[in-house]
């Protein structure tokens, strides 16, 4: 905002001072427009630091290993991102995923169904779980935190009741069920099918969020639900579709999980619920909805994996990994708060 004539009154001077754009403001503006920049910077820095502490970190086999290690949480975090973009949160994603994986495994093992049908039934279970959450949020109008807190316990109980606490192992299931663990070795790098599926899903969701009307509606509902409603968007339907889409993503995550563990266990994924939120938050998506890029979540998930792997290779006690992740989360949310203050 420049005046043609030099400012004279104290009011003008004050106005000009307040309107100034410092370099920090410019940074904030960039981060506001491209939310994936901050996690990208953190990731690059982390890789450099950990690589310099232990050069084993840089080995292509190690870097591809990290991708494989985050393939489950990275996929679950896609579902979490969709929900957080609508200014919601889902505490039950991990539990719903485990329920889906047990349905897949048990229908194949106990009922002897062929793998594609078993996988489909797992998808149905996950979609039902998502629909339940969506119903509670859109019809019963519960806050997502409360609704998913309840369904978290429901899914955990259902999983144990259904599976009887029994794990189903690779040898008891058709090969297709663990196909996600098979890998294409390219030199020293191991690219598992699971990682490829995860990245493919990210591309798909990025397209849906960035280039379709549905995606724009998701952002609108998250940014200001009331304004979106007044603009003619059916917020109930958008929210429902988000929760059901999240369910579908969780079914894919369940398939990847079975591949990695070589088993479907009701005790798996103990920390998945919170770890998925961690990935989303570190990835620069705002917890208050309406802002964030799906690629940020992938970066967030990789950052967590990099920190865990890097700290371990550096010979640091496991507790420091937990501490580091905690600090990352706080810094990420604080940066998000700061970015929100940008003045357009």
Say whether residue 289 binds another protein (CB under 8 A): yes
Say whether residue 148 binds another protein (CB under 8 A): no
Positions of E strands within the chain:
168-169, 183-186, 189-192, 263-264
Q: Is 127 or 168 the residue whose CB approaches another protein more closely?
A: 168
Residue in the block written with tokens 């339907």: 237
Q: Is 148 or 261 the residue whose CB approaches another protein more closely?
A: 261
What is the C-alpha separation between 248 and 131, in angstroms, rounded?
10
At residue 168, the 3 state secondary structure works out as strand
What is the C-alpha separation between 313 and 210, in angstroms, rounded?
38
Residue in the block written with tokens 């493919």: 200
Choose which of 48, 204, 231, 270 interacts with another protein (CB under 8 A). Answer: 270
Closest CA to 223 of 311, 60, 340: 340
| Rg, C-alpha atoms of the chain | 22
User: Site residues for another protein, window 94-133 (CB under 8 A)?
Assistant: none
Q: Is 87 left (phi over 0), alpha (psi -120 to 50) or beta?
A: left
Say whether residue 166 binds another protein (CB under 8 A): yes
Choose which of 60, 114, 116, 164 interacts with another protein (CB under 8 A). Answer: 164
Q: Rounded to the nearest 10 degrees, what angle do helices 144-163 and 115-138 cross at?
A: 150
Give CA 60 to chain center in angstroms. Answer: 24
User: Site residues for another protein, window 10-39 (CB under 8 A)?
Assistant: none
Q: Are 69 and 225 in contact (CB under 8 A)?
A: no
Choose which of 40, 53, 154, 183 interacts with another protein (CB under 8 A). Answer: 183
Say whether residue 225 binds another protein (CB under 8 A): yes
Choose which of 257, 278, 285, 297 interacts with another protein (CB under 8 A). Answer: 257
- Token duo for residue 323: 């501490």
Residues contacting another protein: total by CB under 8 A? 47
Q: Is 24 or 319 the residue whose CB approaches another protein more closely?
A: 319
Choose which of 165, 200, 210, 326 interacts with another protein (CB under 8 A). Answer: 165
**At its nearest, how many Å lie between another protein and the CB of residue 68?**
8
Say whether residue 267 binds another protein (CB under 8 A): yes
At residue 150, the 3 state secondary structure works out as helix
Count the helix, strand and coil residues of the chain and give each as a percent rounded to the nearest 5.
Answer: 75, 5, 25
Say whether residue 181 binds another protein (CB under 8 A): yes
Choose which of 19, 60, 288, 337 interacts with another protein (CB under 8 A). Answer: 288
**At its nearest, how many Å lie between another protein and the CB of residue 17?**
30
Residues contributing to the site for another protein (CB under 8 A): 56, 59, 61-62, 65, 68-69, 72, 87, 143, 146, 160, 164-167, 169, 171, 181, 183, 190, 224-226, 257, 260-263, 265-271, 288-289, 308-309, 312-313, 315, 317-319, 322
């Amino acid at each position: 905002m420049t005046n043609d004539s030099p400012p004279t009154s104290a009011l003008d001077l004050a106005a000009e001072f307040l309107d100034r754009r410092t370099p920090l403001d410019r940074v904030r503006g960039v981060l506001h427009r491209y939310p994936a920049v901050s996690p990208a910077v953190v990731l690059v820095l982390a890789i450099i630091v950990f690589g310099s502490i232990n050069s084993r970190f840089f080995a292509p086999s190690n870097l591809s290993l990290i991708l494989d290690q985050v393939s489950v949480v990275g996929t679950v975090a896609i579902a979490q991102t969709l929900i957080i973009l609508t200014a919601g949160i889902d505490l039950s994603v991990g539990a719903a995923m485990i329920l889906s994986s047990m349905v897949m495994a048990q229908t194949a093992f106990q009922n002897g169904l062929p793998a594609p049908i078993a996988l489909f039934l797992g998808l149905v279970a996950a979609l039902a779980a998502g629909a339940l959450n969506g119903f509670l949020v859109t019809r019963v109008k519960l806050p997502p935190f409360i609704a998913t807190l309840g369904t978290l316990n429901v899914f955990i109980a259902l999983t144990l009741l259904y599976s009887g606490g029994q794990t189903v192992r690779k040898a008891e299931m058709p090969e297709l069920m663990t196909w996600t663990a098979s890998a294409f070795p390219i030199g020293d790098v191991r690219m598992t099918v699971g990682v490829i599926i995860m990245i493919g899903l990210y591309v798909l969701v990025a397209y849906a969020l960035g280039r379709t009307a549905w995606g724009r509606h998701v952002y609108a509902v998250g940014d200001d639900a009331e304004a979106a409603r007044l603009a003619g968007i059916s917020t109930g339907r958008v929210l429902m579709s988000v929760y059901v889409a999240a369910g579908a993503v969780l079914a894919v995550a369940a398939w990847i999980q079975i591949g990695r563990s070589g088993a479907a266990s009701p005790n798996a994924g103990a920390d998945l619920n919170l770890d998925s939120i961690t990935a989303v938050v570190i990835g620069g998506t705002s917890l208050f909805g309406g802002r964030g890029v799906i690629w940020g979540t992938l970066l967030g998930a990789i950052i967590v994996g990099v920190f865990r792997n890097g700290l371990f290779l550096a010979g640091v006690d496991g507790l420091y990994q937990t501490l580091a992740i905690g600090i990352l989360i706080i810094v990420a949310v604080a940066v998000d708060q700061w970015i929100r203050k940008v003045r357009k």
